[in-house]
């Protein structure tokens, strides 16, 4: 089965304004190991960087065509 509490922690980890400040306390409230949470959240944040750059490479040419 899917561990919905862990998915909530991961989703909170990838939100730019919350990241580790919100994901680690939530995971600790769910009784996860804080050290594993920290390492997991940092790895997830690092793995998202290339995806963000690929997304920006796709979006920037489209946005620059729009007249403001």
Mean pLDDT of 53-66: 90
Question: Domain of 8?
Answer: 4-64
Q: Residue 24: pLDDT band by 50, 70, 90 thresholds?
A: very high
9, with CB counted inside 10 A (0-12, 13-18, 19+), is buried
Separation in Å, CA 61 to CA 36, 48, 50, 66: 39, 21, 18, 9
* pLDDT tens-digit readout, 29-48: 999 999 999 999 999 999 99
pLDDT band at 9 (very low <50, low <70, confident <90, very high): very high
pLDDT for the residue 67: 85
pLDDT at 68 over 80: no
Please count the structural domains in the chain: 1
């Amino acid at each position: 089965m899917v561990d919905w509490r862990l998915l909530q922690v991961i989703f909170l980890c990838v939100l730019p304004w919350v990241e580790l400040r919100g994901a680690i306390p939530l995971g600790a409230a769910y009784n996860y190991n804080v050290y594993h949470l920290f390492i997991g959240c940092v790895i997830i944040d690092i793995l998202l960087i290339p995806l963000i750059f690929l997304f920006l490479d796709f979006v920037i040419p489209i946005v620059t065509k729009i007249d403001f």
